[in-house]
Structure 1
Amino acid sequence: MSPDFGLTWGDPDESEETADALATVDTTREQRQQAQAEEVARQVEAAVEAATPSLSKIPDPVAPAGDGPLTVEERERRDRCEEGIDLLNKAYYIAGKSLDTMAVGRLFRDLPHKEDPARCYETIEEWAWVEKGLRQSRASKLRAGWELGEILAARGYDAPLGQVLELVPVKNAHGIPVAVGVYELVVKSAGAAGVTAARLREVVRMLPGDLALKDEDPMEIAKTLQGQLVAEEPGRAPAPAAPAVPREVRQSVDRRAVMLADRLDRGRIPRGELMLHLLRAFADDQDSTVFDAVLARMKEAGPE
């Protein structure tokens, strides 16, 4: 039998009150923690909802409020619409990566064919067309462009699929850093807002056939490419400056450009785009119409 030394921990009633108080504190703490957790969950849910694209967030088409500057409400509607349109520059590389992951892992291989359930899909192209309505050419472009699109987006550029596809041959031949370097080069010369698929295509065409770059930094690659593209051949005299275009010629070109825009149902045609088409027509090996016209005019005018 244990000895009783007569030790107690105070009044029994007092001990019970202390225990009740501690239990109340624990309950209050748990309630406070639960409330905080619920508030955090609500904030996260609200943030996810705000960031999630939704058709309901795009305002319905309505007539303009007037002919003058946009109202505050109209500017807000325009911002929402621009955000929705910009989703195209993200959706393609998200879809492309998804298709690539499906294709590489053959994640479609146990899915019953929608039109022939007795068998499963055999290729990603078959699955994409039957299940998602994506033609083979479209699926191939999405798969080819997603990685570059994702990297350019991480560098702060909203490069649409059409621009990225101009760089895919560079990526395949020289690697991703060089392809990104070409994009950086065009940004450097034209500004981010001036980057177009046509500009990228022209720069890609100008790249030397024996291009060899070891640098992994796209910005340094862009500098190297710029030096290679503008370098003059040793011993060659500088090219003479192009003669100034007479005012009447500029006016005539502008008038014809307006006529061309009307025929194409466009608002305006930049001179750069017009010049690009003229040069392509002049260099066309299959149709010498423009070349012959220039030749005849130069023969008639004689040396400048």
Structure 2
Amino acid sequence: MTEKQFDLGWGDEEEPEQAADTLTVVDTTRDAQRQQTQAKLIAEQVVAAVEEAKPGLHKIPDPVEPAGEGALTDEEKQRYEECLEGVDLGNAAWFIQGKALDTIATGRLFRDTPHKLEPERTYRTIEEWAPLEKGISVGKCSKLRAGWAIGEVLAARGYNVNPGQVREIVPVKNAYNLNAAVAVYVLVADSYGADQVTAERLRNTVKMLPGDLELDEDEDVDTLAKTIKGVLVEEMQPPVSRAIPPAVTRAVDRTAIKIADALNRPRIPRSEVTLRLMEAFADPEDPTVFNVVLDRMKKAEQDAQKAARKALG
């Protein structure tokens, strides 16, 4: 039996160049497989991220009875957080919808969509498109488009705002600008608390704005809120009359008689009383009269603010 017949060796040895080619093919295949694996992982991550961002009932836990009467369990806390996200999504959905409708309307993005009832033509206006394509009435569509920008800004500032509230301050946005409308909301929220803002209070505040109100369009929201508050407080104060009420005049005369008696004089002219009062008011060493006047003016200011709050509802 010869070696030739049974060839117990490893076979013919490859030439160096052939071995290098083989290794290159193996490396290339391995790299391709690695890239495919990475691409698959990235694709799966993208799909998962998109699914996570999508709203849906499947993300909201099913209703179940409490685990107990005490503090929430870890599982209940998680369920609570998931439900809060759903509630927040609902609060934000209306102005997201409004922005989408406004974008569609402004860009006339419906213009090559066949009309549902007249397929031979396309939609001409958002008022045609919204009711037939999305079941949104013309009135609701207009309100959502008018208010979404206000809702977006207020939500960014942390306010939980609804369409009914925003509807009351849209006229301010139309008359002035977006910041002015937001400022009215901020003013009411600061006066009553963010959780006490109502459509009625916003409506009453807007009604109180004077017709000749002037606002600087370059001012920020907080500055505008302070400006509007100052205007409303001033509007609620009674007009200051130069004429002295008769009751005050009589009281001054009676007091002047007492002073005349104390000084053993027949009478004290009213002009002299006025002069001495002004001197006492301006006396830097004795602020007694000044403090009395200040207290009275503070009270008048507080009464005016109370009246303004009452008018707001």
TM-score bin (small chain): 0.5 to 0.7
TM-score normalised by structure 1 residue count = 0.63
Counterpart in the other structure of 1:266:
none
Q: Percent identity?
A: 54
Count, aligned residues? 236
Counterpart in the other structure of 1:222:
225
Per-residue CA deviation, residues 72-129 of structure 1 (Å, 9 max, x unaligned), is 5444444433322322222212221222233233333443332343454443223222
Q: 1:216 to 1:35 in 2, by over 3 A?
A: farther
Counterpart in the other structure of 1:84:
86
Counterpart in the other structure of 1:59:
61
Describe how 1:247-258 pairs up with structure 2 within 5 A.
Answer: none
Describe how 1:28-177 pairs up with structure 2 within 5 A.
Answer: 28-63=30-65, 72-177=74-179
Counterpart in the other structure of 2:290:
none
Counterpart in the other structure of 1:239:
300
Q: Distance in 1 between matches of 2:42 and 2:32?
A: 15
Larger radius of gyration: 2
Q: Distance in 2 between matches of 1:170 and 1:241?
A: 27
CA RMSD of aligned residues (A): 3.4
Tell me whether 1:13 sits opposite 2:74 in the alignment. Answer: no
Unaligned 5+ residue runs, structure 2? 1-13, 242-296, 304-309
Q: Which runs of 4+ in 1 moved over 6 A?
A: none
Q: Distance in 2 between matches of 1:109 and 1:123?
A: 8
Per-residue CA deviation, residues 106-155 of structure 1 (Å, 9 max, x unaligned), is 33344333234345444322322222222222111111111222233333
Tell me whether 1:196 sits opposite 2:257 in the alignment. Answer: no
Q: Distance in 2 between matches of 1:234 and 1:17?
A: 104
Tell me how far 1:43 sits from its aligned partner: 2.1
Q: Distance in 2 between matches of 1:18 and 1:235?
A: 102
Between 1 and 2, higher relative CO (CA 8 Å, sep ≥ 6) is seen in 2
Q: Distance in 2 between matches of 1:146 and 1:125?
A: 17
Counterpart AA for 2:150: L
Q: 1:208 to 1:15 in 2, by over 3 A?
A: farther
Q: Distance in 1 between matches of 2:89 and 2:27?
A: 50
Moved more, 73-82 or 40-49: 73-82
Q: Distance in 1 between matches of 2:47 and 2:126?
A: 35
Counterpart AA for 1:239: A
Unaligned 5+ residue runs, structure 1? 1-11, 243-274, 281-304
Counterpart AA for 1:114: K
Q: Distance in 1 between matches of 2:153 and 2:239?
A: 37
Counterpart AA for 2:55: P
